[in-house]
Structure 1
Amino acid sequence: MSVRPHPFFSGALFARKTCFVYLPKGYEENDRSYPVIYLLHGMYGSESHWLLKGNAEQTLDRMIDEGTLRPSIVVMPSDGGYGHGTFYINWYNGTGNFEDYFIYDLVMEIDKQYRTLDDPKYRAVCGLSMGGFGAFSLALRYPQLFGAAASLSGALTSTEHIAEHYSRSDVSQMIGPVRGPFAQGHDLQLLASRRVQEPQRPALYFNCGTNDFLYSMNASYTKHLESIQYPHVYEEFSGEHTWEYWTEHLPDALNFMEAQFAKNE
Structure 2
Amino acid sequence: MALLQCAFYSHVLEFQTEFTAIVPQPAADQEGRDDNAGAPVLFLLHGLSDNHTIWLRRTSIERYAEELGLAVVMPQVHRSFYTDMAYGGRYWTFLSEELPQVASAMLRIATDPARRYVAGLSMGGYGAMKWALRQPDKFAAAASLSGALNVAGPRLQEVFPADHRLIFGERSVAGSEDDLMALLARRAEEGVQLPRLYQCCGTEDYLYADNQLFRTRASELGIALTYEEGPGAHEWSYWDASIQDVLRWLPLPDREA
- With the length of structure 2 as denominator, give the TM-score of the two structures: 0.88
Distance 1:27 1:198 in 2: 43
Q: C-alpha offsets along residues 166-220 of structure 1, whole Å, 9 cap, x if unaligned?
A: 4993313322445368x61110011111112434322210100011111111111
User: Which residue does 2:55 correspond to in 1?
Assistant: 50
Alpha-carbon offset, residue 144 of structure 1 = 2.6
**Runs of 5+ consecutive residues of structure 2 not aligned to the other structure:** none
1:211 aligns with 2:204: yes
Q: C-alpha offsets along residues 71-99 of structure 1, whole Å, 9 cap, x if unaligned?
A: 121111111x3xxx111110124x11011
1:191 aligns with 2:196: no
Alpha-carbon offset, residue 125 of structure 1 = 0.8
Distance 1:200 1:42 in 2: 27
1:112 aligns with 2:105: yes
Q: C-alpha offsets along residues 196-253 of structure 1, whole Å, 9 cap, x if unaligned?
A: 2434322210100011111111111100000001001110011111111101110111
Distance 2:252 2:108 in 1: 21
From 94, 107, 120, the counterpart of 1:101:
94
Distance 2:62 2:17 in 1: 21
Distance 2:173 2:111 in 1: 34
- With the length of structure 1 as denominator, give the TM-score of the two structures: 0.85
Alpha-carbon offset, residue 143 of structure 1 = 1.6
- Counting matched residue pairs gives 250
Distance 1:257 1:136, change over 3 A: same
Report if aligned partners of 1:163, 1:178 keep a CA contact under 8 Å in 2: no
Q: Partner letter of residue 204 of structure 2?
A: N
Q: Partner letter of residue 213 of structure 1?
A: Y
Distance 2:121 2:176 in 1: 22
Mapping of residues 162-181 of structure 1, within 5 Å:
162=154, 166=158, 169-170=161-162, 171-177=164-170, 179=172
Q: Partner letter of residue 176 of structure 2?
A: Q
Counterpart of 1:125 in 2: which secondary structure?
A: strand
Report if aligned partners of 2:42, 2:119 keep a CA contact under 8 Å in 1: yes
Q: Partner letter of residue 88 of structure 1?
A: Y
1:244 aligns with 2:249: no
User: Which residue does 2:39 correspond to in 1?
Assistant: 34
Distance 1:238 1:78, change over 3 A: same
User: Which residue does 2:146 correspond to in 1?
Assistant: 153
Distance 1:137 1:72, change over 3 A: same
Distance 2:160 2:102 in 1: 37
User: Which residue does 2:64 correspond to in 1?
Assistant: 59
Distance 1:91 1:28 in 2: 46
Counterpart of 1:224 in 2: which secondary structure?
A: helix
1:78 aligns with 2:70: no
Counterpart of 2:17 in 1: which secondary structure?
A: strand
Q: C-alpha offsets along residues 55-112 of structure 1, whole Å, 9 cap, x if unaligned?
A: 2112223xx2xxxx3x121111111x3xxx111110124x110111112221101111
**Runs of 5+ consecutive residues of structure 1 not aligned to the other structure:** none
Q: How many percent of aligned residue pairs carry the same amino acid?
A: 31
Distance 1:226 1:11, change over 3 A: same
